[in-house]
Structure 1
Amino acid sequence: MFKIIDKMMALPPALQQNLESKINQYEEEQKMELLSTMEERGMAKNCRQNILDLLQVRFLSVPETLVETLNNIEDLALLKQLLLETIGVNSVAEFEELIPDNSSDKN
């Protein structure tokens, strides 16, 4: 039954090609969006790790509570800002003060 309907609704070759092209374009756009999301997650993970590495090197230890707090931050812009701030802080406590109270809210 579906084959009959499919044949009855067949598009002229030019329109069929145009439709397939638009479908392919849409699929590619969707893949890119997903890839961008995955890239952003990877960048956030890398940024978190860089922050922790810098704090570890500079202050020899990082409290587990701070590790958990950083792991809950998904805002890439905030993580980048914190990474830059890590260079200039004088203590882990000073770094912790830079983290906004609502930063652990997952978007």
Structure 2
Amino acid sequence: MMSLPEQFQSGFQREIVRFEEESKMPYITSIERFAREEGLQQGLQQGVLQKGREDILEVLEVRFSSVPETLVELLNQVQEKAILSSLLRQSITVESLDTFEGIVISQLSF
């Protein structure tokens, strides 16, 4: 191992401190990291649910021209991906918007 002459030692230490301060990253606690990850997961889940709702509404609009706001509000209450997947399949074959609204209501009753 090499050692610096004393005349350079203090300058080197100042440079090390300066470098560390410039490149310092804020410390993130494990709780903060967990909260960030949880927030990311919730955001992804909400994105999946929103996409499912949009797909259902698109099918219904193609089939029935327009979708009543009450039905949109009901769909917004659905918080499970599996239910939205089922509703998407049913939206393709359902005979009327009233029937579909009844299906959504029955799914929300669970």
TM-score in same-fold range (> 0.5) = yes
Secondary structure of the equivalent of 1:90? coil
Secondary structure of the equivalent of 1:65? helix
The equivalent position to 1:90 in structure 2, one of 86, 91, 95, is 95
C-alpha distance in structure 2 between counterparts of 1:104 and 1:69, whole Å: 11
Shift of 1:93: 1.5
C-alpha distance in structure 1 between counterparts of 2:37 and 2:105, whole Å: 31
Alignment correspondent of 1:12: none
With 46-55 and 28-37 compared, the bigger mean Cα shift is at 28-37
Alignment correspondent of 1:3: none
- Residues 1:44 and 2:61 aligned together: no
Shift of 1:49: 1.0
Tell me the TM-score normalised to structure 1 length. Answer: 0.63
Shift of 1:74: 1.8
Shift of 1:75: 2.2
Unpaired runs of 5+ in structure 1? 1-19
Shift of 1:52: 0.7
RMSD value over aligned CA atoms?
Answer: 2.6
Indicate if the aligned counterparts of 2:49 and 2:81 stay in contact, CA closer than 8 A: yes
- Residues 1:53 and 2:74 aligned together: no
Shift of 1:91: 1.3
- Residues 1:74 and 2:79 aligned together: yes
CA, structure 1 residues 104+48, in 2 after alignment: closer, same or farther (shift >3 Å)?
farther
C-alpha distance in structure 2 between counterparts of 1:82 and 1:41, whole Å: 17
Question: Percent of aligned positions with the same letter in both sequences?
Answer: 37
Indicate if the aligned counterparts of 2:74 and 2:105 stay in contact, CA closer than 8 A: no
Matched AA of 2:47: G
C-alpha distance in structure 2 between counterparts of 1:44 and 1:104, whole Å: 18
When Rg is computed on C-alpha atoms for both structures, the one with the higher figure is 2
Secondary structure of the equivalent of 1:84? helix
CA, structure 1 residues 104+70, in 2 after alignment: closer, same or farther (shift >3 Å)?
farther
Unpaired runs of 5+ in structure 2? 1-26
